[in-house]
Amino acid sequence: MNTEPIQQAGVLHRYATRLVAFEHTRTPHPSIEPRNILLFVPGLGDGFLTVPYSTALAPCLPASYSLVQPLLSSSYNGWGTSSLGLDVAEIAQCVAYFRRIRPGGKVVLMGHSTGCQDVIHYLLSPGLDARPTIDGVIMQAPISDRECFLMVLDQESYDAGVKVAQAYVGDGRGEDVLPGSVTGMFPRTPISARRWLSLTSPGPEHDGEDDYFSSDFSDERLKATFGKIGATAVPICFAFSGADEHVPDFVDKERLVSRWERIIREGGGVVDEASGVVRGATHNLARSTEERTSDDSVQDLLSRVVGFAQRVETGKLQLQTRNGGHDKSSF
130-187 pLDDT, tens digit per residue, is 999 999 999 999 999 999 999 999 999 999 999 999 999 999 999 999 999 999 999 9
pLDDT-derived band at 238 (thresholds 50, 70, 90) equals very high
Tell me how far the alpha carbon of residue 5 is from its chain's centroid.
24
pLDDT-derived band at 318 (thresholds 50, 70, 90) equals low
| pLDDT over threshold 60, residue 329 | no
pLDDT at 286: 85
| pLDDT over threshold 60, residue 319 | no
CATH code assigned to 10-143+214-314: 3.40.50.1820
pLDDT-derived band at 327 (thresholds 50, 70, 90) equals very low
pLDDT at 43: 96
Tell me how far the alpha carbon of residue 186 is from its chain's centroid.
20
pLDDT at 2: 55
Kindly list the distances between the CA atom of residue 249 and the CA atoms of 4, 47, 107, 152, in Å, as whole numbers in the listed order: 31, 28, 35, 13
Selected residue with higher pLDDT from 7 and 200: 200
pLDDT at 65: 97
* pLDDT tens, residue by residue, 49-91: 999 999 999 999 999 999 999 999 999 999 999 999 999 999 9
Would you list the domain boundaries of the chain? 10-143+214-314, 145-210
Selected residue with higher pLDDT from 292 and 186: 186
pLDDT at 325: 38
| pLDDT over threshold 70, residue 326 | no
| pLDDT over threshold 70, residue 3 | no
- pTM of the model as a whole: 0.92
Nearest alpha carbon to residue 232 among 116, 120, 123, 122: 123
Nearest alpha carbon to residue 147 among 49, 250, 76: 250
Tell me how far the alpha carbon of residue 248 is from its chain's centroid.
19
Mean predicted confidence (pLDDT) in 23-46? 90
| pLDDT over threshold 70, residue 292 | no
pLDDT-derived band at 123 (thresholds 50, 70, 90) equals very high
pLDDT at 4: 72
Upstream peptide bond of 204 is cis (omega within 30 degrees of 0):
yes
| pLDDT over threshold 90, residue 295 | no
| pLDDT over threshold 90, residue 103 | yes
- Average pLDDT score over the chain: 92
Kindly list the distances between the CA atom of residue 120 and the CA atoms of 5, 75, 202, in Å, as whole numbers in the listed order: 32, 18, 21
Residue 190 CA to residue 160 CA, distance in Å, equals 18
| pLDDT over threshold 70, residue 282 | yes
Please tell me whether residue 22 adopts helix, strand or coil conformation. strand
pLDDT at 331: 33
